[in-house]
């Protein structure tokens, strides 16, 4: 097979959850550019309409759905509608997620459960919904957006680390359980990515010095920079394409080398 065809997503339908902005938007854009029919969801009508405008501005044809991916009945209804209108979902990217930076002893059980619900349980519900058709057709790609916190812990992110650690193991279990149907389930573990959400951490202080957290990340990362959404699109297209047909249950960390390094000596 020609190498370009190996990475092509022509004729495939890709669903990316929470792809209104940030990492999800970048991955969705890349899958569309590789030829996929793009579908995404948002919980908010406002975010959905803004995302549709942003995709249109980039010349990308996308179909958006209002859906809370923590609600099984909404998930099942959305999947039924997509399959009815576009056919089988060939590629699912479980990207929707939140983080609450709260010390563990100050975090309420409701706050903990909300993070687990969105970052872990939603991926279970989405995967459960698309797997029957993938099993029937004997092909499918599921990509879970994990995190370095799938491997590491740090202060104030107990719920997030618990969810992303669980997502890593859910990824491996889907691969183990459904690999015989030619279904591949893998994860992408982004490092620290420059997004709107992390912009305040990268802003220079009035005296021109770096934010201490910015300095910390640069010292920890062998690449000596923050990642960008562009750094994630190659791995995403690879894991969504036939090029990764014998890659299963793997977490591809796109972190500039953080997990390989102890960091610079102060």
Q: Tens digit of pLDDT for each residue in 69-127? A: 999 999 999 999 999 999 999 999 999 999 999 999 999 999 999 999 999 999 999 99
Q: pTM of the entire structure?
A: 0.96
* Annotated catalytic residue 160: yes
Tens digits of residue pLDDT in 235-252: 999 999 999 999 999 999
Mean pLDDT of 31-52: 96
- On the 0-12 / 13-18 / 19+ scale of CB atoms within 10 A, 212 is exposed
Which residue among the candidates 160, 178, 192, 253 is catalytic per the annotation?
A: 160
At 199, the pLDDT band (50, 70, 90 cuts) reads confident
CA distance linking residue 240 with residue 91, whole number of Å: 6
Dig out the tokens for 166 from the structure.
Answer: 């669980």
The enclosing H or E element of 35 equals none
Report the percentage of the chain scoring pLDDT > 90. 89
- The predicted pLDDT at position 265 comes to 74
- What CA–CA distances, in Å, run from 45 to 18, 41, 50, 117, 178? 12, 10, 9, 21, 34
- The predicted pLDDT at position 150 comes to 97
C-alpha 53: how far from chain center: 21
Whether 31 and 238 have beta carbons less than 8 Å apart is answered as no
Question: Is it the case that residue 1 has pLDDT exceeding 80?
Answer: no
């Amino acid at each position: 097979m020609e190498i370009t065809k190996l990475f092509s997503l022509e004729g495939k339908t890709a669903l990316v959850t929470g792809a209104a902005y940030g990492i999800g938007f970048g991955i969705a854009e890349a899958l569309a550019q590789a030829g996929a029919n793009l579908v995404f969801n948002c919980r908010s009508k406002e975010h959905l309409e803004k995302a549709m405008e942003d995709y249109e501005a980039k010349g990308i044809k996308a179909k958006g759905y209002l859906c809370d991916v923590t609600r099984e009945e909404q998930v099942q209804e959305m999947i039924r509608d997509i399959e009815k209108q576009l056919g089988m979902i060939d590629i699912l990217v479980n990207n929707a997620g939140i983080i609450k930076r709260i010390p563990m002893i100050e975090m309420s059980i409701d706050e903990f459960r909300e993070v687990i619900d969105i970052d872990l349980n939603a991926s279970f519900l989405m995967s459960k919904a698309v797997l029957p058709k993938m099993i029937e057709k004997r092909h499918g790609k599921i990509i879970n957006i994990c995190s370095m916190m799938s491997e590491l812990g740090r202060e104030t992110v107990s719920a997030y680390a618990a969810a992303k650690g669980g997502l890593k193991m859910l990824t491996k279990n889907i691969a183990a359980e459904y690999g015989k149907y030619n279904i591949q389930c893998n994860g992408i573990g982004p490092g620290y990515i420059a997004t709107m959400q992390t912009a305040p951490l990268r802003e220079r202080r009035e005296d021109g010095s770096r934010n201490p957290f910015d300095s910390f990340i640069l010292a920890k990362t062998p690449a000596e920079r923050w990642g960008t959404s562009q750094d994630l699109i190659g791995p995403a297209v690879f894991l969504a394409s036939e090029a990764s047909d014998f890659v299963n249950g793997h977490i591809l960390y796109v972190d500039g080398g953080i997990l390989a390094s102890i960091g610079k000596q102060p």
